[in-house]
Amino acid sequence: MPSITMVESLNLALDEALAQDNRVCLMGQDIGVNGGVFRVTKGLQARYGKDRVMDSPLAECGIIGTAVGMAIYGMKPIAEIQFSGFSLQAFDQIEQNMSRLRNRTQGRFEISMVMRTPYGGGIRAVEHHSESRETYWAHTPGLKVVIPSGPRNARSLLAAAIADPDPVVFYEPKSIYRAFREDVPEEPETMPLGKAQVVRPGEDITIISYGAMIRPVREAVDDLSDQHGIDVELIDLLTISPMDTTTLVESVRKTGRCIVVHEGHRTCGIGAEVVARLAEHGSFEYLVAPLRRLTAPDLPFPYFQVEQHFLPDPDDVVETACELMNWN
């Protein structure tokens, strides 16, 4: 039961996949000798060779486009985009081919591939290196979107994403790449895609979040419990699309209050979708306080001298939860 960081657990999952299935191959900028700029692919080219762990030219569209072709031929490419902000360079290939070729060919082609990419703020990076635009992919039919929140689920979700017969966008919360360790079992494990996890059951209020935001939310949950006597039900989405509506509706039906917390921009963000699903499922009948979204504003991620307070923090969560608890 080694205790490892998320970078290590992702490396482990890739290593396991490469060892198990020779259809799996990795491609991306600087993923070979250099092991990726975050070292997620460290050592893998030495182990599996240049053809299975391939350094690509500096062209994201080229990476995704050729990966799609490899998938058609029966390989299982795992393409790394160095930072999620640069996946826009590949938007056309993602939407027009990766997400649609199964449908276009009425199921004849299987596009079993993963686009892995680090996303999100909090590492004091330069512009375009802190984006959280999972909405773009959640709004694109044909894709699945998966976001882990810790070393252990990162490994098992990545394994499940690789095994999945359909294209998966795998967003890695880079701010927690090395933030903490977790024990992982010796044997490979997978987790089903499409299932949210009730991280902590509770009675008073539901908080829904995912990815790097789970950490500050957990902090707030502890605080709410310890300082305010508020019993939070915390749900980690894990798969953003398709979304586990049942788990969400059941929880809010029970608690009557809900906050969604994410790093992405507010307008048409994942929070909007969560709220809309709850509303469609009659939340007006069981809510006792308004729904709340705690998100990044609709503003590009600011430069790092002033980024510190850009994202929702534990205090926001505590304050909002208290506000909703005291709703008249």
Partner 1 sequence: MPEANQPTRAEQNTPSEVPPPGHIDGPFDSRSIDLGRIESLQVLDEHGQVEDGLDPKYDDETLLKVHRAMVLTRAFDARMLAMQRQGQMGTFAPNLGQEACMIGQVWSLGPDDWFAPSYRSFGAQIWRGWSMEHLMRLWAGYHSGFPPPDGVKDLPFSIVIGSHVLPSVGLAMAMRRAQDAHCAVVNFGDGAFSQGSVSEALNFAAVEQAPIVFVCENNGWAISTPIDKQSGNDVLATRGLGFGVRSLRVDGNDILAMMMATQEACRRAREGQGPTLIEAVTYRMSLHTTADDPSVYRDESLVDAWKNRCPIARFETYLANRNLLSSEQADQVRAACEQEVLDARTQFRETAVAEPRQIFDHLYAEMPDELEEQRLEYLRRLDRKGVK
Query: Restricting to residues 261-300, which ones interact with partner 1 according to CB under 8 A?
Result: 266-267, 297-300
Question: Is 97 among the residues that bind partner 1 (CB under 8 A)?
Answer: yes
Beta strand segments in 174-318, E: 182-183, 197-200, 205-209, 232-236, 239-241, 258-265, 292-296
Give catalytic status of residue 281 as yes or no. no
| Distance from C-alpha of 64 to C-alpha of 5, rounded to nearest angstrom | 27
Whichever of 138 and 184 has its CB closer to partner 1, that residue is 138
Looking at beta carbons only, is 77 or 256 nearer to partner 1?
77
If the CB atoms of residues 144 and 152 are measured against partner 1, the closer one turns out to be 144
The CA radius of gyration of the chain, in Å to the nearest whole number, is 20
Q: Which does 19 bind (CB under 5 to 8 A by kind): ligand TPP, partner 1, its own copies, none?
A: none
Kindly determine how many residues on this chain lie close enough to bind ligand TPP according to the rule CB under 6 A.
6
Integer Cα distance of 176 and 9 in angstroms: 12
Residues 135-154, interacting with its own copies (CB under 8 A)? 135-136, 138-139, 141-142
Helical H segments across 194-313, by residue range: 214-228, 245-255, 270-280, 283-286
Please tell me whether residue 105 binds its own copies under the rule CB under 8 A: no
When CB distances are held under 5 to 8 angstroms depending on the partner's kind, the choice from partner 1, ligand TPP, its own copies, none that residue 130 binds is none
The closest of 81, 131, 124, 314 to 213, measured between CA atoms, is 314
Residue 84 DSSP code:
G
Is residue 43 involved in binding partner 1 (CB under 8 A)? no
Contacts to ligand TPP from residues 24-63, by CB under 6 A = 29, 58, 60
Cα 298–chain centre separation:
20
Q: Does 253 sit near its own copies (CB under 8 A)? A: no
Total length of the chain: 328
In this structure, are residues 200 and 230 in contact, taking their beta carbons and an 8 Å threshold? no
The rounded Cα 233 to chain-centroid distance in angstroms is 20
Instruction: Give yes or no for a contact between 270 and 120, defined as CB atoms under 8 angstroms apart.
Output: no
The helix-helix angle for 270-280 and 245-255 (nearest 10°) equals 70
Per-residue string for binding with partner 1, 197-236, x by CB under 8 A? Answer: ----------------------------------------
Residue 46: in which H helix or E strand, if any? helix 44-48
Q: Which of 278, 265, 8, 307 is nearest to 139 (CA)?
A: 265
- Is 86 a binding residue for ligand TPP by CB under 6 A? The answer is yes
Residue 98's nearest CA partner among 116, 87, 110 is 110
Least distance between ligand TPP and beta carbon 63 (Å): 10
283 binds its own copies (CB under 8 A): yes
**CB closer to ligand TPP, 47 vs 128:** 128
Spatial CB neighbours of 196, under 8 Å, sequence gap ≥ 6: 208, 235, 236, 237, 238, 239, 243, 244, 247, 248
Q: At what angle do helices 6-20 and 151-163 cross, to 10 degrees?
A: 30
As measured in angstroms, the least distance from the Cβ of 3 to partner 1 is 25
Mark the segment that binds partner 1 (CB under 8 A) among 12-20, 184-192, 205-213, 307-315. Answer: 307-315
The option from ligand TPP, partner 1, its own copies, none interacting with 46 (CB < 5 to 8 A, set by class) reads none
Q: Does 287 bind its own copies (CB under 8 A)?
A: yes
Task: Provide the annotated active-site residues.
Answer: 129
What is the binding site for ligand TPP (CB under 6 A)?
Answer: 29, 58, 60, 82, 86, 89
What is the binding site for its own copies (CB under 8 A)?
Answer: 85, 88-89, 91-92, 95-96, 99-100, 103-104, 127-128, 133, 135-136, 138-139, 141-142, 241, 243, 264-265, 267-273, 275-276, 278-285, 287-293, 297-300
